Chains A and B, each alone.
Chain A
Amino acid sequence: MDWLTTVDHKKLGILYLWFTLFFFAVGGIFALLVRTQLAVGENTFLANDAYNQIFTMHASSMLFLFIIPIWAGFGNYFVPLHIGAMDMAFPRINALSFWMLPPAAILMFAGFLVDGGAAAGGWTAYTPLSRQAGMGMDLWILAVLLLGMSSTIGAANFLVTMFRMRAPGMTMFRMPIFSWTMLVTALLQLLATPVLAAALAMLFIDRNYGGAFFDPNGGGNVVLWQNVFWFYSHPAVYIMILPGMGIISEILPVFSRKPLFGYKAFVFATMGIGALGFSVWAHHMFTTGAVLLPFFGIMTFMIGVPTGVKIFNWLGTVWGGSISFKSPMLWGLGFVSMFLIGGLNGTFSAAVPVDFALHDTYFVVAHIHYVLFGGSVMAVFAGLYYWFPKIWGRMLDERLGQLHFVLGFIGFNLTFFPMHLLGLDGMPRRIATYANDTGWEPMNLLSTIGAFLIAVSMIPFIINVVLAFRRPPDQPNDPWEGNTLEWATTSPPPVHNFDSLPPIKSERPLFDARQENKDTETN
């Protein structure tokens, strides 16, 4: 009962984590179905119609029910702790944000029960295809609207919390980078999500009340949907990755025993990505023939610059450090190396004439997974291994953690690297099957094997978590020699978070405190 009525940011954070990890599993199972269908040419494992529903719901659960809300989960738990606050600014609104998720998920998946099945137009729901679709599409629209509302009010809550609730001494430029990335993410959500809501409302009206926003026969415009959809969904890509970058920027310094290289540069790069993120949406539309190509080309190239700055800063952080390879760090280094690929293969599409070939092929599928799996998902695991002892008062086993990482890392590359080659060889995305004489089978088979290897890599992780919960808590306050305030309190923290706070004189208050202790000892 306590869990249903709680307004404690930590309990809500835990609810977010369980909820989103559940949908990570669901989305993962859907991914396995997709990969099974594509393993060989002319496969009949899934009918075309079922295939379209499955890949649409794979993306929808991964993006809307896993990645976007899991950052709200980590943020809920750690932003108040990071800034030395007792709770979020509006605890009840916080609970409301979370409790909008389960009904949205139910609505979205209820599509499988209605006539015509679940939404099958891809997570991008392009018109006019999405105007034709069955009732599952309406349920999908309502679900995404609800999720959008949840993240909008959540964003407002995060912003107020960070602006108004910081502990004495915690200036803006002493906030942990994770909080900074949550701040920029919240700004993006606040500015972009209402545009998505407008787009969804228009689509709903078109479908149900004879509207013609997207119908050329009624004076509407088909491409308008893509403009408003991507005006949200490109910034949404940063909503999905920035907090992950924040987590990595907490972990690399701790396990290198050095401060983050270029803290301020990192903050400005994050803001730069956020701002530029609003000017590149039409790079998803280069082949519509309805886009000012040079403008969106140069803006997309430019966004590579602040992204590059971040990668260099991470490199500068580990350079000259004293690195220990604990599980969080393994995932952190995995993130840096894989996100590097995801950044580089993204620039191909910024070169408009190159994008003419690559757009809507498996090359793009490879790109998005190097960013969202090689990036975001690796950051999720980095964060889980790093903060598990704080949240649940128990360490995770290192050996199982390493096994999880190694299998996951190999599986990931095996799944997604071959997709580059398939895309260059002309395999379009979202096709339910392909002819045997295309020559696409070997790479697809490899990719499918990789996908199952990723699934296998989850076994040691699950065992690890189960074993941890069966042990009595060892409650280490600061097992990693952390830098930020969450390590100053007990594991798990008390309801009011802190009995007392150390003085905050830099972005690493706990490091400062440790140094002072050492100095007094030696004196």
Chain B
Amino acid sequence: MPSVYNWQLGRDMSFPYGNAPGGLQFAFVFNINRCIGCQTCTMACRSTWTFGRGQEHMWWNNVETKPFGGYPRFWDAKLLTMLEEANPGKQVWGKGGGGTDAPYGTFNGMTIFEAAEGYAGPAGPRRALGYIPTADEWAAPNIFEDHGRTLADALPSDARLPEHKVWFFYLARLCNHCTYPACLASCPRNAIYKRPEDGVVLIDQSRCNGYQKCVEACPYKKAIFRSTTGTSEKCVGCYPRLEGRDPLISPNGEPAETRCMTSCVGKIRLQGLVQVDDRGNWKPDATNPLYYLVRERQVALPLYPQFGTEPNGFYIPPRWVPRPYLEQMFGPGVQRSLEQYACPDRELLACLQLFRAAQQIIFRYEVIKGPKVAEVPVTMPDSSTKIQEIYNDTVIGYNKLDKECVRVTIKEPTFERDRMKHANSI
């Protein structure tokens, strides 16, 4: 198998095809500290693309409650178990990291592509380790999630589940438009392709024969089979919007963010396009907000980078969640990310203001500095308190045509005094 460079693993890895062509790549950052699980993104996607008959299971975007939930159910626990069985005790990260070529160090374990090498099961050779979820697992998103009691009621009376103290978070997911897509690698019909203009991964419906190899191979389970057409479908990255062809949002051809991104109530989402070189690595550009958050500050981390597809969705991890769980999910960059996010300096705070400030894709931003307006004590990942300084900075975002599309000015925090204590308050 040819070898490609995966910057998230800090090493070369085998992949059935060569490097993805350089150019622009679709990418997004989710700040899951702020997701309230309202599912507005899910419904925005459904009402745009998948409201037809036969698309009942087509949740291109879903939001699941971790640690228990998932759609299809147990998707990540199942694959992590399969990888562990393929390479027992060795799915580990090496020490070090921090450079541009290997920001999280080196992953010494096996990716889904490497674990499938030499595999000859009953269904013949495979290109990626995976499985096809059962009908039960696809049956309903969010089943039993957030409502543990319902699950307890469904269990036989002598069954006991372990209880842990309350901690959980909402994980919003969609296709990561991976640099090395397992769906594409596994398709025997070459029906799946990655667009050179924006890295969006699409399934050609006229070529797809419904073999479901992509459903089996995608580690994130974001290629989904549709029984009414006998083909598989997946997120299309709202490509007309990326191309600036939405007549309402982009009258002058400016690329706009996808429907799920722009509808986010919690303002947790920022999506854009980054420049990639012909090795699949991101070209340095600290004025692009995604580059700044992912590569420069390393505050946003890939979801299960160890799977090896080089996903282009990145997450700011929730800071109240036990570290081992987060490290399994986002790799070794968690501590560094949380330390910066919990008490952001003025540069990071300014960049974070761009989340859901505009519908157009921000290609470049700049910050105009203002005076300090407040000092606020905030909670650090180890539960200690640190002082965050807030400046009256203004952050300006520019679209593809380099025209200003948004301007956000940070103001001092406001405090409401207790009415009972201050009877004459206005």
Task: Answer yes or no: are A and B bound together in one complex.
Answer: no
Residues of A within 8 A of B (CB): none
Residues of B within 8 A of A (CB): none
